[in-house]
Structures are given as structure tokens and as C-alpha cells.
């Protein structure tokens, strides 16, 4: 959860995001070539994605399913009737010189998602961001610029068509965002949702999730939008926030200097931490859209729609609300636990197995999370099952073992050793008749410390408690030991 920020009080930023999300299908949107990332250049290609004469596209049914599920998760209205269109433009990595996309009849429209922020006082803020539309389309290829040139930086370019035909959904937000922080949080929540659904891995480093920002500024109180500028080339959520914050300042400075803002596409330069002009922005008329003649319109039946709706999991925002309101967790714990679906499911299995929710949250977000980060593992790769975590927590709460013993044995437990084996012979000593002779022995062996304690150095109680724990291999119940030691020292 991030802190909300604002721009200069006399200006207001108007921000919308266009997010391209690669769908996790095994094959491309209109052909059976692989979508595997990292293959040798131009090995995952075929006549369809290369746009060779005489070939016809066929829609991958899994693409439609994933697009509809994403639309449902974003609270969109799913179109009973939609179609594909040709978007005309020339670029070396677009073999057909047109892209198959959706224009006036997209698969989903009029949705929303909720973002969570905190204000300057630390109070939670929830805000709905509208979703204008979600539509399906194919990706283009990739240009690789190589060689060296004093002026342009590269002397030649190579093209890799492996990405051509990769299935995408483009998700367009309403201009409801007002700061870089809000935009970054929106993009993060969107990634959480598609990952929970399993429709995309949301990997920004590999280009599976790419965000373009549309941003303008206007004086506060004015209804008309300012001139819109698009920013591309952001490969992290922090880059989205920094690019927007920079562009807001740039546009405000230009307005105050009397300069004209032009509608253009700008690139975010990570090294220089600034935006630079790329090209004048095209309008929809420049693309000469018309219905794709080689693909039939799409009709989603009510039965199919309800089937896909029934397969949706509980989503991150729903889980956060549930964890806070019903389980009593803090917003921080709820957010960490719901960041990844596998972690949320691990947590829920642990509490279903009898673990106290707060105790399970502490173990998962602290000790287990530290291990995962250090070893670069996912929670599904550790040997400690959620059922065994519940067993450990129950042993601590019933006094069979101490929290310190559990932490000491955690490496063994994470490797897959059962609690029964890990804690064999380590049950806490909770019988006063067993502990009292040991305490008497410790006190008798340390007369100088006893004298100092009785002369006012009461901090030495910890010394005696520590000696008892040492003699019992930390099996003495800490709480009971403290009580008995204090009683005997004060006798």
C-alpha cells in the first residue's frame, strides 16, 4: 500500500493507462505456433503469423476464455456480440502491415477495479478506477537494433517475429487517476488480478505486462481536459510513477511559461530520468479500421459466460477485505498475504487446519518470507506444509514447545522434516515440581549474583532464568520459569 500524493494545488493531473497484457496460452492467438519466451529468433513462427498469402486465421478458444474471465474479474459487461477489426499501419516488425485487433465492438466494457492507498496520516483510502474497455488483439514482432553508429547509436536492425501473433488483451482505464502513485498502484492491482486468474504471468521484464500512460494537466476547476501526451517504454511500477511525476512537472512548467503542449508520444528515458519526444500521436482515423473479413463475429452464450464466471477465484481485493474484517488482520498483513495467490492459499489452508490467523500471518510474512527471499523460492517449493505450520502454532499455544524452539527448528521444518520428528524430546517442562529443584540448584550455584539481586539489581532475574533454560536445553516453560525464579529470589 502506497501513500497518496498530489500535484501543485493549482493544477490537476488527468491520467489514464493503456495496459497490454500477454495471455498465458501455449499457442498464438490465430495459429498453433508456440508462445514460449526466450526461444531462438524466428523459430516460433508460421505462415499465419507471418501473414503469407492464402492463409486464414483461426481464433484460439483459450484466448477468448481468458479475455472473458479478465473482463469479469474487472467488473466489465461482457459483449454478447463482438468482432475483430484490421488496424492498418506499416512497421518492419508487423509482417501483414495490419494488426488484427478490436475497435468498436470489444469483448468487454464499462468495468472498474479498486486501488488502496494511505493518506499522509496513515489512514487507508480506497478508490475505484473505471475500466473503459478490454479487447483482444495480436502482438507485433520485435526489432533488435545492433552495431554502432556515431549519430543513431546502431548501424543496422534485425527483426524477430517470434512475438508476432502472441495473444494480448488491451485494458484501457478511464482518466480517473490523479498521480504517479495512483497509476503505479492501479498497474500493480491489475497484475495481481491477472495472476490470480492464471491468464497471464504479468512479467514486466519479459514484456508480458506493458503500460502506456496518457497524461494531461489542467488548472483546478476547469472541466475541459488539457492536451494529452502518451508515455511509453516503462518496464516497472516505479518507472511508471517516476515518468508520470516528471511529465506532470514538465507540462505545468510549459503551461506557466506560455508554451504549447502538443499531442505526441514520448519515451521514458530511465538513465536520464526524463521523457523525450518520439512521434506525433496518431488518431484512430489514421489506422483506417475496418471489420476483419477472415474472422467470424464472436458470440458468447449465457451458459458459457456463467461457466467461466463460476471458475473465477476470490480476487485480491476481496481477500484483503475478508482478512481485515473477519480475521482481524492489519492492512499490511492482509496486503502481503494476498500479493500472491499461492501465499494466500497457503495461509488459508493453515487456518483451516486450526492455526490462529494472526500467528499464521506472522510466521508467513516474517520468518517464512525471509527464507523465501533469501533462497529465491516460492512458497510452493518449501517442505513446510500449511498443515504442519498449523501443528507448530498449536504446539506453541498449548505450551508444548516455545516460540524460540520453533524458530530454532525452522530450517529443519522448511526442509520437510515433520513437527513430530523436529520436536521429539523437546516438549516444554511445565511441571513446577520438576523445575523447582533445578531453580534451587541454579540459585545455590550463584551466591554473588543472588546477593546483588537482593541488594537491588533486579535485572539479574534474567540471568537466573537463562541459567535454568540452559540446564534444561531450553525445555523449561519460559513463563512458568520466570514466575518460579522471581518467587524464589524474593523468598
The tens digit of pLDDT for each residue in 414-424 reads 999 999 999 98
Which cell is 232 given? 511509453
**Closest Cα to residue 436, out of 376, 484, 475, 367?**
484
Query: Does the pLDDT of residue 288 top 70, yes or no?
Result: yes
Query: Does the pLDDT of residue 282 top 70, yes or no?
Result: no
Which cell is 416 given? 520437510
**Closest Cα to residue 133, out of 237, 30, 16?**
16
Query: Does the pLDDT of residue 69 top 90, yes or no?
Result: yes
Domain boundaries, the chain: 2-304, 314-422, 432-489
16 has which bridge partners?
214
User: What gap in Å lies between CA 397 and CA 374, rounded to an integer?
Assistant: 28
Query: Does the pLDDT of residue 283 top 70, yes or no?
Result: no
- What would the pLDDT profile of 168-204 be if each residue is shown by its tens digit? 999 999 999 999 999 999 999 999 999 999 999 999 9
Maximum C-alpha span of the chain: 100
Burial tier of 41 (Cβ tally within 10 Å: 0-12, 13-18, 19+): middle
Q: Is 62 helix (H, G, I), strand (E, B) or coil?
A: helix
Element (H, E) at 125: strand 124-138
Which cell is 106 given? 470489444
- What would the pLDDT profile of 300-322 be if each residue is shown by its tens digit? 999 999 999 999 999 999 999 99
In this prediction, residue 366 carries a pLDDT of 96
In this prediction, residue 253 carries a pLDDT of 95
Sign of the C-alpha dihedral, residues 315, 321, 327, 333?
Answer: positive
Q: Is 273 helix (H, G, I), strand (E, B) or coil?
A: coil
* Residue 234 near residue 268 (C-beta atoms within 8 A): yes
DSSP string, 416-435: T--HHHHTTT---B--HHHH
* H runs (alpha helix) in 353-409: 357-362, 369-375, 386-397, 403-408
Instruction: Give the domain 432-489 fold.
Output: Arc Repressor Mutant, subunit A (1.10.10)
φ, ψ dihedrals at 19, nearest 5°: -110, 120
Q: What is the mean pLDDT of the chain?
A: 92
Q: How many beta carbons lie within 10 A of that of residue 439, not counting itself?
A: 22
Contacts (Cβ under 8 Å, ≥6 apart) of 280:
262, 263, 264, 265
Residues of the chain with pLDDT > 70, as a percent, come to: 97
Query: Does the pLDDT of residue 429 top 80, yes or no?
Result: yes
Query: Does the pLDDT of residue 223 top 60, yes or no?
Result: yes
User: Which has the higher per-residue pLDDT, 234 or 84?
Assistant: 84
Radius of gyration of the chain (CA): 30
Angle, helices 447-454 vs 478-489, to 10°: value is: 80
Contacts (Cβ under 8 Å, ≥6 apart) of 130:
110, 111, 112, 173, 174, 176
Q: How many residues does the chain have?
A: 491
The torsion defined by the Cα of 78, 285, 175 and 130, in degrees rounded to 10, comes to: 0
Q: Is 42 left (phi over 0), alpha (psi -120 to 50) or beta?
A: left
- Cell match 495490419: residue? 98
- Per-residue pLDDT, averaged over 23-30, amounts to 98
In this prediction, residue 2 carries a pLDDT of 60
Which cell is 405 given? 524452539
Burial tier of 80 (Cβ tally within 10 Å: 0-12, 13-18, 19+): exposed
- What would the pLDDT profile of 97-119 be if each residue is shown by its tens digit? 999 999 999 999 999 999 998 88
The torsion defined by the Cα of 28, 29, 32 and 33, in degrees rounded to 10, comes to: -20
User: Which has the higher per-residue pLDDT, 150 or 406?
Assistant: 406
Sign of the C-alpha dihedral, residues 334, 339, 344, 350?
Answer: negative
**Closest Cα to residue 18, out of 241, 204, 183?**
183
Query: Does the pLDDT of residue 358 top 80, yes or no?
Result: yes
φ, ψ dihedrals at 275, nearest 5°: -100, 150
Query: Does the pLDDT of residue 143 top 80, yes or no?
Result: yes
- Per-residue pLDDT, averaged over 390-399, amounts to 94
Q: Is 55 helix (H, G, I), strand (E, B) or coil?
A: coil
Q: How many beta carbons lie within 10 A of that of residue 320, not counting itself?
A: 23
* Residue 348 near residue 364 (C-beta atoms within 8 A): no
Element (H, E) at 322: helix 316-325
Which cell is 289 given? 479500421
In this prediction, residue 124 carries a pLDDT of 81
User: What gap in Å lies between CA 44 and CA 433, rounded to an integer?
Assistant: 75
- Give the pLDDT band of residue 285 (cuts 50, 70, 90): low
- Per-residue pLDDT, averaged over 447-474, amounts to 89
In this prediction, residue 243 carries a pLDDT of 96
- Cell match 488496424: residue? 87
Query: Does the pLDDT of residue 127 top 80, yes or no?
Result: yes
DSSP class of residue 160 equals: E
Amino acid at each position: 500500500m502506497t501513500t497518496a500524493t498530489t500535484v501543485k494545488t493549482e493544477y490537476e493531473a488527468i491520467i489514464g493507462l493503456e495496459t497490454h497484457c500477454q495471455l498465458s496460452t501455449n499457442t498464438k492467438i490465430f495459429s498453433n505456433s508456440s508462445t514460449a519466451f526466450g526461444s531462438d529468433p524466428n523459430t516460433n513462427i508460421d505462415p499465419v503469423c507471418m501473414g503469407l498469402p492464402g492463409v486464414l486465421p483461426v481464433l484460439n478458444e483459450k484466448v477468448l476464455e481468458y479475455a472473458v474471465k479478465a473482463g469479469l474479474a474487472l467488473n466489465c459487461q461482457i459483449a454478447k456480440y463482438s468482432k475483430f477489426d484490421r488496424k492498418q499501419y506499416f512497421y518492419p516488425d508487423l509482417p501483414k502491415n495490419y494488426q488484427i485487433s478490436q475497435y468498436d465492438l470489444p469483448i468487454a466494457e464499462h468495468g472498474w477495479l479498486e486501488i488502496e492507498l494511505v493518506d499522509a496520516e496513515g489512514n487507508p483510502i480506497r478508490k475505484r478506477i473505471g475500466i473503459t474497455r478490454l479487447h483482444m488483439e495480436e502482438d507485433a514482432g520485435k526489432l533488435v537494433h545492433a552495431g554502432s553508429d556515431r549519430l543513431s547509436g546502431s548501424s543496422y536492425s534485425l527483426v524477430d517475429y517470434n512475438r508476432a501473433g502472441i495473444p494480448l488483451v488491451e485494458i484501457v482505464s478511464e482518466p480517473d487517476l490523479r498521480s504517479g502513485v495512483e497509476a503505479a498502484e492501479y498497474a500493480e492491482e491489475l497484475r495481481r488480478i491477472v495472476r490470480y486468474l492464471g491468464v497471464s504471468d504479468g512479467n514486466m521484464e519479459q514484456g508480458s505486462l506493458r503500460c502506456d500512460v496518457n497524461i494531461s494537466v489542467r488548472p483546478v476547476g476547469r472541466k475541459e481536459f488539457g492536451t494529452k501526451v502518451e508515455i511509453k517504454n516503462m518496464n516497472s511500477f516505479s518507472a511508471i510513477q517516476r515518468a508520470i511525476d516528471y511529465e506532470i512537472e514538465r507540462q505545468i512548467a510549459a503551461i506557466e511559461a506560455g508554451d504549447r503542449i502538443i499531442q505526441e508520444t514520448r519515451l521514458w528515458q530511465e538513465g536520464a530520468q526524463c521523457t523525450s519526444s518520439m512521434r506525433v500521436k496518431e488518431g484512430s482515423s489514421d489506422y483506417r479500421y475496418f471489420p476483419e473479413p477472415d474472422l467470424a463475429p464472436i458470440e458468447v452464450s449465457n451458459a458459457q459466460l456463467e461457466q467461466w464466471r463460476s471458475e473465477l477465484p476470490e480476487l485480491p481485493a476481496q481477500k484483503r477485505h475478508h482478512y481485515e474484517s473477519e480475521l482481524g488482520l492489519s492492512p499490511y498483513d492482509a496486503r502481503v498475504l494476498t500479493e500472491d495467490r499461492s501465499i494466500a492459499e497457503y495461509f488459508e489452508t493453515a487456518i483451516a487446519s486450526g492455526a490462529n490467523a494472526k500467528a499464521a500471518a506472522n510466521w508467513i510474512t516474517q520468518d517464512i518470507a525471509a527464507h523465501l527471499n533469501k533462497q529465491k523460492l516460492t512458497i510452493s517449493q518449501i517442505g513446510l506444509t500449511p498443515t504442519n505450520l498449523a501443528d507448530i502454532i498449536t504446539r506453541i499455544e498449548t505450551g508444548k514447545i516455545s516460540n524460540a524452539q520453533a524458530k530454532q527448528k525452522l530450517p529443519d521444518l522448511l526442509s520437510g522434516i515433520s513437527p513430530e520428528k523436529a520436536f521429539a524430546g523437546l516438549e516444554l517442562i511445565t511441571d513446577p515440581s520438576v523445575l523447582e529443584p533445578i531453580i534451587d540448584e541454579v540459585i545455590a550455584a550463584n551466591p554473588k549474583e543472588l546477593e546483588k539481586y537482593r541488594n537491588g539489581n533486579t535485572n539479574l532475574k534474567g540471568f537466573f532464568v537463562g541459567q535454568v533454560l540452559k540446564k534444561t536445553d531450553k525445555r523449561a516453560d519460559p513463563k512458568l520459569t520466570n514466575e518460579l525464579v522471581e518467587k524464589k529470589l524474593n523468598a
